[in-house]
Amino acid sequence: MSLRGTTFLESVLQTLKRAIELGGYPQEAYEMLSRPQRIITVNIPVRMDGGKIQVFTGYRVQHNNALGPYKGGIRFHPEVTLEEDIALATVMTFKNSLNGLPYGGGKGAIAVDYKKLSKRELEELSRGYARALAPFIGPEVDIPAPDVGTDPQIMAWMVDEYSKITGHNVPGVFTAKPVVLWGNPVREYSTGFGVAVWAREAAKKLWGGIEGKTVAIQGFGNVGYWGAYWLEKMGAKVVAVTDSRGGVYNPSGLKLVEVKAVKDKTGTVMNYESSGTRKVTNDEVLELPVDILVPAALENVIHKGNANNIKAKLIVEGANGPTTADAEKVLHTRGVWILPDLAANAGGVVMSYLEWVEDLQWYFWDEEETRNRLERILLDTFNRVMNRWNKLGTSQVTIREAAYVEAVDRIYNAMKVRGWI
């Protein structure tokens, strides 16, 4: 238990336990799904620009592969811990199952402040990680991708390193690669697109549509920026955005193109100025008087200490694990809808799946066709989760619990027919 209440892993395991009870699955399912199948720890030496060697510790958690190869991102963050990586890998197992993907779940991490590395040091670290993991990954074994602090360039170095070891090009081992290295242009914005699609569909049910609904977003990286872009395109009004330093709020709506230009030029949205715009902290942004709140940075930001101050009626989890289990109870009682991470931010991994399919068959769809395929999968998941939620009882069960039951069902049946359980 942390100062903010349940830790991310504790919250995930509490939801799993409840889903197993709600779905009537045996306790053995909890035993198998509450811990990873394998944890790999690697220590990667990097010759720093100053001439000295520094050793970085990294992990790859392979949680469960009943439904197919492990799949999930790699996080570069100074405060990452093994416990956090286990929680992230566990969520991936349920996310991939929920969305009907032929994957199990995994997640990788390196404890590093990548902003302090030179480009050469970052490349050496990325290649070192791919080399150390090479015996444990592959297009049919474990397929990593980016998460916080990693990007298509890092995936390109990793694919190149892995391909050197195998002696031939293996694009399907990492996803979210640059387009020229058999990536797909949709992957860059797919997580934010998925956030917006889920918000739009929920808004139809809550208010008859998303047009004019106000949105505050915490985090203005890949998910936060593209979430804002697509939400605006779908008719919502983005009034606040923040990054790690804090952010800006304008009740009449922000000019996103200008905010993004300031972020790209100065490193933070905090430097954006316009009439009617004021600064907000990362705590304040969660409590603004808006219709929709999108936490799109890190975990445990909505906790028992601030759950009662949140005014949004709809929370769309762009980040993984932004809401603690204690906070979710409070918000559910207050009638707030929380669209959970394994559903609302699944656009990224669903698009990774489409990229992987392209790489395996060496045949590539155009951008529009890819996006349509992505949207179809997301809408199918949305409808299944809503049906399951209605069946289980919307006042007794949260949307997250309904999504977990839906996800566990597929994994449990796969483990059963495989004879694991």
Ligand X SMILES: O=C(O)CCC(=O)C(=O)O
Ligand Y SMILES: NC(=O)C1=CN([C@@H]2O[C@H](COP(=O)(O)OP(=O)(O)OC[C@H]3O[C@@H](n4cnc5c(N)ncnc54)[C@H](O)[C@@H]3O)[C@@H](O)[C@H]2O)C=CC1
The residue ranges that bind ligand Y (CB under 6 A) are 146-149, 191, 218-224, 242-244, 282, 296-298, 318-320, 345, 348
CA distance 207 to 385: 19
Q: Which is nearer to ligand Y, 212 or 267 (CB)?
A: 267
13, 67, 145, 155: which one binds ligand X (CB under 6 A): 145
Amino acid at 125: L
Whole-number minimum distance, CB 283 to ligand Y, in Å?
9
User: Do the bridges between strand 70-76 and strand 104-110 make them parallel or antiparallel, or are there none, so unpaired?
Assistant: parallel
Tell me how far, at minimum, the Cβ of 278 lies from ligand Y, in Å: 17
250, 205 contact by CB (below 8 A): no
Report the residue from 121, 147, 188, 201 that binds ligand X according to the rule CB under 6 A.
Answer: 147
> Which of ligand Y, ligand X, none lies near 149, with the C-beta cut-off 5 to 8 A by kind?
ligand Y
Q: Which does 11 bind (CB under 5 to 8 A by kind): ligand X, ligand Y, none?
A: none
Whose Cβ is closer to ligand X: residue 242's or residue 320's?
Answer: 320
Select from ligand X, ligand Y, none the partner in contact with residue 330, using the beta carbon and a kind-dependent cut-off of 5 to 8 Å. none
348 binds ligand X (CB under 6 A): yes
Min CB(171)–ligand X separation in Å? 14
Cβ neighbour number for residue 193 with a 10 Å cutoff: 26
Tokens of 192: 């934010």
CB 112 to ligand X: min, Å = 17
Q: Is 256 exposed, middle or buried (0-12, 13-18, 19+ CB in 10 A)?
A: middle
Site membership for ligand X, residue 318 (CB under 6 A): no
Count the site residues for ligand X by CB under 6 A: 13
In the complex, the smallest distance separating the C-beta of residue 353 from ligand X, rounded to whole angstroms, is 8
Question: What is the CB neighbour count within 10 angstroms for residue 23?
Answer: 18
71 labelled binding-site residue = yes
Q: Is 95 known to sit in a ligand binding site?
A: yes
Rounded CA-CA distance 405/382 in Å is 14
Instruction: Confirm if 343 and 198 have CB atoms less than 8 A apart.
Output: yes
Residue with tokens 């909890």: 30
Tell me how far apart the alpha carbons of residues 23 and 420 are, in angstroms, rounded to a whole number: 19
Q: Which does 156 bind (CB under 5 to 8 A by kind): ligand X, ligand Y, none?
A: none
Give the nearer residue to ligand X in terms of CB position, either 72 or 128: 72
Residue 275 in marked binding region:
no
Residues carrying an active site annotation: 107
Is 71 an interacting residue with respect to ligand X (CB under 6 A)?
yes
Whose tokens are 């990586």? That residue is 85
Amino acid at 15: T
Among 23, 68, 69, 73, indicate the residue that binds ligand X (CB under 6 A).
73
Q: 173 with 162: CB under 8 angstroms? A: yes
- Phi (first) and psi of residue 133, to 5 degrees: -90, -10
Q: Which of 349, 374, 414, 415 binds ligand X (CB under 6 A)?
A: 349
Q: Which residues in 35-139 belong to E strands, given as ranges?
A: 38-47, 53-64, 70-76, 104-110
> Is residue 167 within 8 Å of residue 337, measured between CB atoms?
no
CB of 35 to ligand Y, least distance (A): 21
Considering CB distances under 5 to 8 angstroms, the limit depending on partner class, which of ligand Y, ligand X, none binds residue 71? ligand X
Neighbouring CB atoms inside 10 A of 244's CB total 15
Phi, psi values for residue 56, rounded to 5°? -105, 140
Q: What SS3 state is found at 230?
A: helix
Is residue 213 a known part of a binding site?
no
> According to CB under 6 A, which one of 90, 300, 352, 381 is a site residue for ligand X?
352
Per-residue binder mask for ligand X (CB under 6 A), 166-185, x = binder: ---------xx---------
Establish if 109 lies at the interface with ligand X (CB under 6 A): no
Question: What is the Cα–Cα distance from 94 to 89, expressed in whole angstroms?
Answer: 9
In the complex, least distance from residue 391 CB atom to ligand Y, rounded to whole angstroms: 27
Provide the annotated binding site for substrate: 71, 95, 352
| Residues near ligand X, by CB under 6 A | 71-73, 95, 145, 147, 175-176, 320, 345, 348-349, 352
Provide the annotated binding site for NAD(+): 191, 222
